[in-house]
Chains A and B, each alone.
Chain A
């Protein structure tokens, strides 16, 4: 179109005519845009503004009078007094909402035994002070003996500014977490991507046996919450661990545990991406290499690696993002090793310091956004690499190589199955390590923290609702944005909003929801504390991947379907229901199972949102572990695992049945 405009500037710009269908479709897009604004953009904005909401002691608002037996002095403010005695610098006056400052600090020669009398008042009524534990917020003069005066503390008042960030970066215990988080994420990324590459290489390039089994096993970690490997590691390498000798005296609580666990739970994510990258490699390049008598080794470095490089980079950033934003694992096994995501939890739940929680969230957003940006950039390149003339590579048998591959994959499989098996074993032990008899006591969740069996049924409800509502919203959104004509700005705005959730760490999203939905002025306040808010949050949290799956499926469908339908005067909804949905059914089912499994395992986003009526199984795992009930936590984690396995089996069965009835045309 621009070319047309360039070459023939005089001609009037031809705009494709938008039909009634297009306008209805744009209406849909706008509705889903609005949905994403409300569930994503507004909460994030609320969180951002919270991070700038500061508390400081407003010394100008407090006035004293002193009577040392020779009559009352002139009133003077705490600020004047502070200037005189040079006690507090401005940065000392920055605090949080629960900050307290003793008034005696302003009187260097204060003695509670002296007969001196003190008076205190507030100039404006927007601050308060405490006499002991009694709150005073009027503007009257209050008189105290010196023995009483020492019990007075003034409270901070609210303001806005950058003070929270200043406090954060001047508190080593806080900002060191950035370094820790980056270090752990880098290390885990390198290990995971190397391991996953080897595994994918074996699956793609060897003719070893049991490939199907290995593929299944490699996907197991997706089905469990990220903190479950942490629990398994405690049983393996903790002080009472089964094989703790292997650590040579190092403690599993800390970086070692976090890295091992991270490798476990990110492995399948990396594997999927790398397998795809290896699968699209062009067989003709290998033929050329063979013709040029390049060695296997040389071919590997000059053909395989360059071919898969975008996949590797993409996998690296996805893993990096998963590790740095994960909360459950470092919480369980991190010991004293502070990570950003855990800091958010500690600030909010431990100290009720919501402002500092928001600051850490903003800090955590930066690496996550960067990783996301690079990943998007690389993914675009990857698509460009595909060509229609590529010939898929077919591996040839090679006995020694196949054996090595089999050994390697078996080792990885043992690692994955081993951790899961340990959890199941631990869940069945009566009282580790003193009473090793088997029992089902640990499944008696009613007497533990975490909400009992209700949390399990709640999780299933959350999973089902998320799968149902999420799939509908995502697929309709993707359809509208793919098939509507014109409205370029609206569509790109929508695309941008749909990509955003991937870059937002779950903890940040959850915290943002508190700030936004728990505001009494928000008309949507009523959904706070219900299952609905968790469904919305989970749909939004996992929106991007679902959206991309739907778009990929829709791209397979020629746009001519729409043109034909229009020329036959068929409304788009009819086409949508009769053709589009049946054709894309496999992808639709994939989206719903993806949403279900993630809703069952997610912890980070919902940890701030559940209420006592809506406790979740994944959160129960965390809370039971937190309370020291580690075996029941393992038991609940395994319940999630079995449920997800069951869901996958049903998904497999339904897919197969439906594919037979709706996808018969593909075979032809």
Chain B
């Protein structure tokens, strides 16, 4: 295994060196394969904005949901197809990092970013773009039919009146579901409190969905009065005319960030670095801001329509290291406790 890997990487290094010698610094159009989980409707805009500054780099997008992109990258571990990952959950990037799949690089201007958004390593392996934040999507029309009151806190959701009126994503298949669970553990107690909260919450949950955006869309469609999802999704559904209220629980909300990293072994390191440099510029951050209320560069974000105004203050101090290193154990425990809901009777 090891020798082959070494042979391969040295071969790649040679090829890179040769191509650099051959072409020098001349402006040569480069195709970069970029894996991403950014929403489909934003991709074209991202590439367009980037190409205004760097017309010589073509982005070849490979897009899918967070879980599938992560699975794909891990499956390709010994034969990476991607040059750059631009817009994938930081928790996923930490997993890739522990596999040694990311190339450390300190992008130009990284010091201008909020420290929360930069990998703590001496040479960072990833840099953040924006954050997506958990929220509750509350359908006012359906709630009124069932005489529900809007919850103010996470603990409010434990009240018996919400029984059967709640939906949340399954953390075993959804990144959003996991960030909820990890935030509850961090807020209410990693050993006991968090699990006690979830035990009681579980009694009120109608079912768990596979994807993180579905609870909010179901709430928007009136399938369920309350969906635990993320703010971005809620704002979009609200803009479409759904009778939604986006509630930010007072205790604080979990969040994850979309981040960028270079895949180790890429033959297009220079172009990859150019892209990562650009991905943290002011222009890029303004670009992220059209969809996300919270971006990596302080002072850039303008309020986004339909976003709850107090969202930023309610973001918890997320311990990504805890989340990443305990992910497996937390998910196994969650599966054991809650994943056979229909049999629990």
Q: Does A397 contact B (CB under 8 A)?
A: no
Q: Find out whether the CB atom of B340 lies under 8 angstroms from the CB atom of A172.
A: yes
Q: Does A387 contact B (CB under 8 A)?
A: no
Number of interface residues of A (CB under 8 A): 66
Q: Find out whether the CB atom of A349 lies under 8 angstroms from the CB atom of B67.
A: yes
Q: Does B28 contact A (CB under 8 A)?
A: no
Q: Find out whether the CB atom of A434 lies under 8 angstroms from the CB atom of B331.
A: no
Q: Find out whether the CB atom of A433 lies under 8 angstroms from the CB atom of B241.
A: no
Q: Find out whether the CB atom of B339 lies under 8 angstroms from the CB atom of A130.
A: no
Q: Does A98 contact B (CB under 8 A)?
A: yes
Please, what's the 1-or-0 string for B74-90, where 1 marks a CB less than 8 Å from any CB in chain A?
A: 11101101000000000
Q: Find out whether the CB atom of B71 lies under 8 angstroms from the CB atom of A349.
A: yes
Question: Which of A132-140, A311-319, A367-375 interfaces with chain B?
Answer: A132-140
Q: Does A630 contact B (CB under 8 A)?
A: yes
Q: Find out whether the CB atom of A627 lies under 8 angstroms from the CB atom of B328.
A: no
Question: Which of B213-221, B291-299, B304-312 interfaces with chain A?
Answer: B213-221
Q: Find out whether the CB atom of B94 lies under 8 angstroms from the CB atom of A350.
A: no
Chain A residue at minimal CB-CB distance from B165: A239
Q: Find out whether the CB atom of B217 lies under 8 angstroms from the CB atom of A628.
A: yes
Q: Find out whether the CB atom of A338 lies under 8 angstroms from the CB atom of B340.
A: yes
List CB contacts (< 8 Å) of B39-89 with chain A.
40-41, 61-65, 67-68, 70-71, 74-76, 78-79, 81
Query: A514–B77 Cα gap in the complex (Å)?
Result: 13
Contacting residues, chain B, for A130 (C-beta < 8 A) = 98, 325
Query: A350–B62 Cα gap in the complex (Å)?
Result: 18
Q: Does A586 contact B (CB under 8 A)?
A: no
Chain B residue at minimal CB-CB distance from A100: B325
Contact partner, B335, options A128, A171, A431, A525, Cβ 8 Å: A171
List CB contacts (< 8 Å) of B190-244 with chain A.
206-211, 213-218, 220-224, 240-243
Q: Does A571 contact B (CB under 8 A)?
A: no
Q: Does A612 contact B (CB under 8 A)?
A: yes
Query: A132–B335 Cα gap in the complex (Å)?
Result: 25
Chain A residue at minimal CB-CB distance from B92: A352
List CB contacts (< 8 Å) of B135-188 with chain A.
141, 170, 172-174
List CB contacts (< 8 Å) of A236-274 with chain B.
238-240, 251, 253-255
Query: A435–B237 Cα gap in the complex (Å)?
Result: 13
Question: Which of A113-121, A446-454, A540-548 interfaces with chain B?
Answer: A446-454
- Additional A-B contacts beyond A133-B94, A337-B342 (15; CB < 8 A): A100-B327, A133-B321, A135-B97, A239-B224, A253-B207, A346-B170, A349-B71, A352-B71, A352-B95, A449-B40, A451-B40, A518-B76, A520-B79, A612-B62, A628-B209
Q: Give B58 Cβ to nearest chain A Cβ, in Å.
A: 14
Q: Find out whether the CB atom of B173 lies under 8 angstroms from the CB atom of A349.
A: yes
Contacting residues, chain A, for B241 (C-beta < 8 A) = 431, 434-435
Contact partner, A338, options B61, B67, B94, B339, Cβ 8 Å: B339
Contacting residues, chain B, for A434 (C-beta < 8 A) = 141, 222, 241-243
List CB contacts (< 8 Å) of A458-496 with chain B.
none
Q: Given contacts A134-B121, A346-B172, A431-B241, are A239 and B210 in contact (CB under 8 A)? A: no
Q: Give B153 Cβ to nearest chain A Cβ, in Å.
A: 25
Chain A residue at minimal CB-CB distance from B225: A239
Contacting residues, chain A, for B339 (C-beta < 8 A) = 173, 336, 338
Chain B residue at minimal CB-CB distance from A433: B222
Query: A538–B331 Cα gap in the complex (Å)?
Result: 34
Q: Does B324 contact A (CB under 8 A)?
A: yes
Query: A596–B206 Cα gap in the complex (Å)?
Result: 39
Q: Does B302 contact A (CB under 8 A)?
A: no
Q: Find out whether the CB atom of B120 lies under 8 angstroms from the CB atom of A132.
A: yes
Q: Does A198 contact B (CB under 8 A)?
A: no
Q: Does B320 contact A (CB under 8 A)?
A: yes
Please, what's the 1-or-0 string for A133-168, where 1 marks a CB less than 8 Å from any CB in chain B?
A: 111010000000000000101010000000000000
Chain A residue at minimal CB-CB distance from B177: A350
Q: Give A259 Cβ to nearest chain B Cβ, in Å.
A: 14
Chain A residue at minimal CB-CB distance from B93: A133
Contact partner, A240, options B223, B242, B342, Cβ 8 Å: B223
Q: Given contacts A100-B328, A151-B321, A448-B40, are A348 and B71 in contact (CB under 8 A)? A: yes
Q: Give A103 Cβ to nearest chain B Cβ, in Å.
A: 11
Q: Given contacts A176-B343, A627-B214, are A135 and B100 in contact (CB under 8 A)? A: yes
Q: Find out whether the CB atom of B240 lies under 8 angstroms from the CB atom of A431.
A: yes
Contacting residues, chain A, for B62 (C-beta < 8 A) = 611-612
Q: Find out whether the CB atom of A432 lies under 8 angstroms from the CB atom of B98.
A: no
Q: Find out whether the CB atom of B208 lies under 8 angstroms from the CB atom of A336.
A: yes
Contact partner, A350, options B63, B75, B170, B329, Cβ 8 Å: B170
Q: Which of A95, A253, A434, A447 has the most CB of B within 10 A?
A: A434
Contacting residues, chain A, for B327 (C-beta < 8 A) = 98, 100
Q: Does A652 contact B (CB under 8 A)?
A: no
Q: Give B139 Cβ to nearest chain A Cβ, in Å.
A: 10
Q: Find out whether the CB atom of A431 lies under 8 angstroms from the CB atom of B242.
A: yes
Residue numbers of A with Cβ under 8 A of B are: 95-100, 102, 128, 130, 132-135, 137, 151, 153, 155, 171-174, 176, 234, 238-240, 251, 253-255, 331, 335-338, 346, 348-352, 354, 431-435, 446-449, 451-452, 514, 518, 520, 525, 529, 611-612, 623, 626-630
Q: Find out whether the CB atom of A176 lies under 8 angstroms from the CB atom of B119.
A: no
Q: Give A182 Cβ to nearest chain B Cβ, in Å.
A: 14
Contacting residues, chain B, for A128 (C-beta < 8 A) = 98, 100
Contacting residues, chain A, for B214 (C-beta < 8 A) = 626-628
Chain A residue at minimal CB-CB distance from B320: A133
Closest 3 CB pairs of A and B: A628-B217, A350-B173, A520-B79
Chain B residue at minimal CB-CB distance from A357: B71
Q: Find out whether the CB atom of A351 lies under 8 angstroms from the CB atom of B172.
A: yes
Contacting residues, chain A, for B70 (C-beta < 8 A) = 352
Contacting residues, chain B, for A253 (C-beta < 8 A) = 206-207
List CB contacts (< 8 Å) of B105-126 with chain A.
119-121
Q: Find out whether the CB atom of B213 lies under 8 angstroms from the CB atom of A627.
A: yes
Contact partner, A354, options B75, B97, B170, B343, Cβ 8 Å: B75
Contacting residues, chain B, for A350 (C-beta < 8 A) = 67, 170, 172-174, 210
Contacting residues, chain B, for A446 (C-beta < 8 A) = 40-41
Q: Does B15 contact A (CB under 8 A)?
A: no
Q: Does B313 contact A (CB under 8 A)?
A: no
Q: Give B291 Cβ to nearest chain A Cβ, in Å.
A: 13
What are 13 residue pairs bridging A and B, where the CB atoms are less than 8 Å apart in the complex?
A: A133-B94, A133-B120, A153-B325, A172-B340, A173-B335, A240-B222, A346-B210, A350-B170, A431-B241, A433-B221, A433-B222, A434-B241, A446-B40
Query: A102–B329 Cα gap in the complex (Å)?
Result: 11
Contacting residues, chain A, for B328 (C-beta < 8 A) = 95-96, 98-100
Contacting residues, chain B, for A336 (C-beta < 8 A) = 207-208, 339-342
